[in-house]
Chain A
Amino acid sequence: MSWRRWNYVLHRDIGFLCIGLTLLYAISGVAVNHIKEWNPSYSVERVETNVGPVVGNPADAATALMILARLGEPGKLESSYRPDRNSLQLFVEGRSITVDLPSGHVVHDRAIPRPVLREMNFLHLNHPKKAWTWFADLYAVALAFLAVSGLFMLRRDTLRRGLILTGIGVVIPVFFLFLYL
């Protein structure tokens, strides 16, 4: 088999292998690019309500349970913290409930993981580390191969157009480097 044929076969098959990860990195890339405007992995909800003045010892678990009962909160109390003399922070299944004891004002913070997107970001941003680092490196090498092998697939009739478009693709990041660096 000629080298051109090998180049074509490898480009095609490695390309197929890369489709899933390319989509993952592309979707997650857009999501994390806008991290200033939104939270790409969690939808953070903040609900304020009032349960009325709370009397009783804030260090006492019964006080915390009474607050949860007033809130109609079915979750299990995991732990609590006193940020100051007048406040009590309760943790229920990863959620935070902060109560101003004298007024009964409650701030309920809940972080809901964005389905699929959070998992994509988890991989894209290499949170797992370990073996995933090597796999992601392998994917980067595969992408580099696809880029270079693609150049060798240019035919005479598309050579000029291919070279111009490739040149534009190289010039664009260089332009932004001049603009912002």
Chain B
Amino acid sequence: MVNKRQAIKNGVSGVYLAIILLLIYAPILLLLFASFSSARIIGEGGTFSFEWYIRLFQSERVMGILLNTVLLAVIAATLSTVLGTMGAIGIFYSNKRTSALLQGANQIPVVNAEIVTALALAILFAAVTLQRTYFSLVVGHLVLCTPFVLISVIPKLKQMDNNLYEAALDLGASPTQALFRVVIPQIASGIVSGFMLSITLSLDDYIITSFTKPATFDTLSTYVYNAVKNESKSDLPLIRALSAIVFLIMIIVVVVLIVRSSRKEEQSR
């Protein structure tokens, strides 16, 4: 009897998860199918075609925007990883009061509504230069990403054996050498996840980007948002194809990650 009840429970649970997953993936799957249809508007007939993919890759504008987006993400993530890692090490070795103060300040952009951060930065740049540049855009993304680098790195520093740094000095390393040869390798996993997180945050961002970017500059987010708002008939089908590609890349990355982490688990057993 107990087993039967358990089986029913499992069954209900499985069906529930399946329904929710279906709802989550339905819009994406719809786009995926529609991207292979020649119709401009979904449901209006059309035949199977790669037309939108071809046009997508031929569109210099969209390709330029993609390049912009990725380049911005890499620049922002690199800079915030350097800034954040240095900050994390500095905070970790500071006295309690400085450390509490800086960690508190680090939480401000995290807890704050993105729109408030965006407006605050826009006001700052308006007050200083009156125009927004690539610099203001990068700063905006740094404010968005750097706090998360600290949040990823500080726990790794806490886990590290404090004697390691001293051991390096003891063996003749200068403080700088000790930092690069011992401390940084010890916290590398935190630095990497901080970097990855920064890439994701930067790629995904709309609000801060739209408040800090120069007028003529577009990232994927701002381009798609404007295209959808203006119901641009020529862009929407391209966006479907683009979504499909991004989605596929994402699936590949996730599968690789899962396989790698399960391999690691097996190895550690």
- The answer to whether A and B come from one shared complex is no
